């Protein structure tokens, strides 16, 4: 099967390809439908889980996650399909199982949105909501510019002028940092983290408990994302703050590994709190600058709830698509469109297409680059697990 055929232009097609590939590989499949929601074709929306290689005693697990950010699932799903079709699991050391979580945010995947059914950015939702929320004043200052009342005419023009003025004054990295950190005050805004744990959040925690085989002592995670960095390049981002874990990841993945400074990640159990306040432009010794800004409520916190004897190495693979201002512009348009979800507008179709193109480059070259890079990191992970 050509590499391009691993990928699909819609959630429904991607799901069918994933289920067929997993079944052909002999994986055990489980499905978890999203309640009270359907896709554009009235299709069921579901998180699908595939477990392969757990029939024998398991020491290690390789976990691949797609669709944390909905529309980004086109990329992650294609990688998961290719993994099974090319039998990359044969490269894993003995005693290693493969666990796949397909379309963690199925609503966003199906409806070409980065957020979920409640406009929540899943990667800003894994925090302790009983604790004080981050200061949202920096986002509040630009919200009305980002999500104006109208998408054309004088109101839009004035919003664009004011937003451009602020970007020129502060710089693109600061603008990116304000947005990507996450905010908890504007449910119709960008990078909204929610008021409490969402369905995909609670489901991920459940899936980890139920599907990681008993007896496993090591877990390697590849969480697939798109939208940041040079087109087609897959940036390996160490998405935790453990110095020991970072040294291990550096051994596995080499000097191109980056990490995000100033991560803010909380767990409802009270574990895994990361410090705030470090500017994303800064570097830490031993790790390069990531293309991602620091975030609040990152998904990596879900793994803090697992048995502490389980050694977790968590990596985000971030694949570039378009220039950052184009990507943020698509998110801005999407937020405006869904701030009033039932509004009649000629912009609906173009904005949905803009979102898909911002996070999925539908060309053979991009797909080949993405899949080749991901396969390389599967092999690096395999060698790392074998070496310990």
pLDDT at 246: 94
For the segment 168-214, what is each residue's pLDDT rounded down to a tens digit? 998 988 888 899 899 999 999 999 999 999 999 999 999 999 999 99
Report the SS3 class of residue 239.
coil
Confidence of residue 285 (pLDDT cuts 50, 70, 90): very low
Non-local (6+) Cβ contacts of 236 within 8 A are 253, 256, 257, 258, 315, 316, 317, 377
pLDDT at 293: 61
Compute the mean pLDDT over every residue in the chain, rounded to the nearest whole number.
Answer: 91
- Domain architecture of the chain: domains with CATH: 3-269+289-387 (3.40.630.10)
Q: What is the pLDDT of residue 176?
A: 86
- Counting other chains too, the contacts that 237-241 makes at CB distance below 8 Å and 24 or more residues apart are 237/290, 237/292, 237/315, 237/316, 237/317, 237/318, 238/287, 238/314, 238/315, 238/316, 239/263, 239/298, 239/300, 239/314, 239/315, 239/316, 240/300, 240/312, 240/314, 241/265, 241/274
What local confidence, expressed as pLDDT, does residue 3 receive? 96
The answer to whether residue 147 scores a pLDDT higher than 50 is yes
Percent of the chain surpassing pLDDT 90:
84
Which range is least confidently modeled, 112-116, 284-288, 336-340? Answer: 284-288
At 342, is the pLDDT very low, low, confident or very high (cuts 50, 70, 90)? Answer: confident
Q: 277: pLDDT confidence band, cut at 50, 70 and 90? A: very low
Q: Is the pLDDT of residue 335 over 70?
A: yes
Contact between 383 and 252 under an 8 Å Cβ cutoff? The reply is: yes
56-70, 224-238, 340-354: least confident range: 340-354
Least confident interval from 3-7, 79-83, 292-296, 316-320: 292-296
* pLDDT tier, 270 (very low <50, low <70, confident <90, very high otherwise): very low
pLDDT band, residue 268 (cuts 50/70/90): very low
Residues for the chain: how many in total? 388
């Amino acid at each position: 099967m050509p590499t391009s055929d691993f990928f699909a232009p819609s959630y429904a097609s991607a799901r069918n390809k994933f289920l067929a590939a997993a079944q052909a590989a002999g994986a055990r499949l489980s499905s978890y439908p999203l309640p009270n929601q359907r896709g554009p074709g009235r299709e069921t929306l579901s998180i699908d889980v595939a477990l392969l290689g757990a029939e024998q005693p398991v020491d290690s697990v390789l976990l691949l996650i797609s669709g944390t950010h909905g529309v980004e699932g086109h990329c992650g799903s294609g990688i998961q399909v290719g993994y099974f079709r090319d039998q990359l699991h044969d490269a894993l050391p003995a005693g290693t199982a493969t666990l796949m979580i397909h379309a963690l945010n199925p609503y966003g995947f199906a409806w070409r949105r980065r957020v979920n059914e409640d406009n929540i950015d899943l990667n800003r939702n894994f925090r302790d909501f009983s604790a004080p929320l981050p200061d949202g004043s920096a986002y509040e200052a630009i919200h009305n510019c980002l999500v104006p009342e109208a998408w054309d005419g004088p109101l839009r023009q004035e919003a664009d002028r004011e937003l451009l003025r602020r970007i020129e004054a502060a710089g693109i990295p600061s603008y990116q940092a304000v947005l990507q950190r996450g905010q908890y005050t504007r449910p119709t805004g960008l990078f909204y983290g929610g008021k409490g744990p969402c369905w995909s959040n609670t489901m991920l925690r459940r899936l980890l408990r139920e599907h990681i085989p008993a007896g496993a002592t090591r877990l390697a995670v590849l969480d697939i994302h798109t939208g940041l960095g040079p087109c087609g390049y897959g940036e390996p981002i160490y998405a935790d703050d453990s110095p020991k874990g970072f040294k291990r990841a550096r051994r596995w993945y080499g000097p191109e590994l980056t990490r995000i400074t100033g991560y803010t990640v909380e767990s409802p159990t009270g574990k895994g709190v990361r410090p705030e306040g470090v500017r994303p432009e800064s570097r830490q010794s031993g790790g390069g600058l990531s293309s991602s800004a620091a975030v609040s409520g990152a998904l990596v916190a879900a793994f803090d709830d697992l048995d502490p004897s389980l050694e977790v190495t968590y990596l985000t693979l971030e694949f570039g698509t378009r220039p950052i201002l184009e990507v943020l512009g698509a998110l801005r348009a999407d937020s405006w469109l869904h701030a009033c979800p039932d509004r009649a507008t000629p912009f609906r179709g173009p904005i949905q297409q803009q979102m898909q193109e911002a996070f999925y480059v539908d060309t053979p070259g991009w797909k080949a680059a993405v899949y080749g890079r991901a396969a390389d990191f599967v092999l690096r992970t395999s060698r790392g697990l074998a070496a310990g």
